[in-house]
A and B are shown apart, each in its own frame.
Chain A
Amino acid sequence: MSTTFELTIRPRKGWQAIDFKEIYLYRELLAFLVWRDIKIRYRQTLLGGLWAILQPFITMLVFTFVFNRMAGVKSDGPPYPLFAYAGLAPWTFFSTSITQSSNSLISNQQLVSKVYFPRIFIPLGAIGALLLDLVLSLSLFGGMMVYYHWRLTWAILWLPVFLMAALLAASGAGLILSALNVSFRDVKYAVPFMVQIGLFLTPVIYPARYLSQRGQILMGLNPMAGVVIGFRHALLGSPASWGVMGLSLGVSVLIFGCGLLIFRRLENKFADII
Chain B
Amino acid sequence: MKPIVEIKNVSKMYKLGGGSARKAENFRELLERAVSAPFRTLAGRKQNAPKVQLGTFWALRGVSFDINQGDVIGIIGRNGAGKSTMLKVLSRITSPTEGSAILRGRLASLLEVGTGFHPELTGRENIFLNGAILGMRKTEISARFDEIVAFAEIEKFLDTPVKYYSSGMYVRLAFAVAAHLDPEILVVDEVLAVGDLSFQKKCLGKMSEVSRGGRTVLFVSHNMAAIENLCTRAVVLHQGKLTFDGTPKEAIQYYLNSLSIQRGTGHLVELDGVGDRRSFFAPLLKQLEFLTEDDQPMTEGLPLGARLKVKVHFDLPHLTTNFNIGLGFNNGYGHRIFTANTLFEPNRWEKERVGPQVLTCEIPSFTLTPGDYSVKVWMDLTGTEADAIEDAAQITVLDSDFYGTGKMPWNGAMVLKHNWSLEELADGGNLAGQGADRVQTTGA
Residues of A that sit less than 8 Å from B by CB: 1-3, 5-12, 28-29, 32, 35-36, 39-40, 43-44, 110-117, 183-186, 268, 271-272
Interface of B is mostly: loop
Bound: A186/B31 CA distance, A: 13
Q: CB within 8 Å of A: which of B128-154?
A: 128-129, 132-135, 137-138
Is the Cβ of A2 less than 8 Å from the Cβ of B91? no
List, sorted by A's number, 15 A–B pairs whose CB atoms are closer than 8 Å.
A2-B69, A5-B184, A6-B103, A7-B103, A8-B100, A9-B101, A10-B96, A32-B128, A40-B118, A40-B120, A110-B115, A115-B111, A116-B109, A271-B94, A272-B14
A243 to chain B, nearest CB (A): 37
Is the Cβ of A9 less than 8 Å from the Cβ of B115? no
Residues of A within 8 A of B184 (CB): 1-2, 5
Residues of B within 8 A of A44 (CB): 120
- Name the contact of B125 in the complex, choosing from A39, A113, A183 (C-beta under 8 A): A39
Is the Cβ of B88 less than 8 Å from the Cβ of A36? no
Is the Cβ of A271 less than 8 Å from the Cβ of B115? no
Interface residue tally for chain B (C-beta within 8 Å): 45
* 6 A-B pairs with the lowest CB-CB distances in the bound complex, closest first: A2-B105, A32-B132, A9-B101, A12-B95, A116-B92, A271-B94
Residues of A within 8 A of B94 (CB): 271-272
A15 to chain B, nearest CB (A): 14
Bound: A183/B22 CA distance, A: 11
Residues of A within 8 A of B93 (CB): 112-116, 271
Give the residue name and chain of the B residue nearest to A26 (CB).
B135
B116 to chain A, nearest CB (A): 5
Q: Say yes or no: is B196 at the interface (Cβ < 8 Å to chain A).
A: no
B352 to chain A, nearest CB (A): 36
- Name the contact of B95 in the complex, choosing from A112, A185, A268 (C-beta under 8 A): A268
- Name the contact of A114 in the complex, choosing from B97, B112, B137 (C-beta under 8 A): B112
B47 to chain A, nearest CB (A): 27
Q: Say yes or no: is B186 at the interface (Cβ < 8 Å to chain A).
A: no
Bound: A39/B128 CA distance, A: 13
B51 to chain A, nearest CB (A): 17
Residues of A within 8 A of B115 (CB): 110-111, 114-115
A40-B120, A117-B135 known; A6+B104 contact, CB < 8 A: yes
A21 to chain B, nearest CB (A): 15
Residues of B within 8 A of A271 (CB): 88, 93-94
Residues of A within 8 A of B133 (CB): 29, 32, 111, 115, 117
Residues of A within 8 A of B27 (CB): 184, 186
A116-B91, A271-B93 known; A183+B129 contact, CB < 8 A: no
Give the residue name and chain of the A residue nearest to B101 (CB).
A9
Q: CB within 8 Å of A: which of B167-194?
A: 184
Is the Cβ of B104 less than 8 Å from the Cβ of A40? no
A29 to chain B, nearest CB (A): 5
Residues of B within 8 A of A110 (CB): 112, 115-116
Greatest chain A CB density within 10 A among B95, B101, B109, B115 is at B95
Q: Say yes or no: is B99 at the interface (Cβ < 8 Å to chain A).
A: yes
Give the residue name and chain of the A residue nearest to B111 (CB).
A114
Residues of A within 8 A of B118 (CB): 36, 40
Q: CB within 8 Å of A: which of B273-301?
A: none
Residues of B within 8 A of A43 (CB): 120
Give the residue name and chain of the B residue nearest to A10 (CB).
B100
Q: CB within 8 Å of A: which of B27-44?
A: 27-28
Q: Say yes or no: is B26 at the interface (Cβ < 8 Å to chain A).
A: yes
Bound: A193/B89 CA distance, A: 38
A2-B4, A2-B184, A110-B112 known; A9+B121 contact, CB < 8 A: no
Is the Cβ of A11 less than 8 Å from the Cβ of B26? no
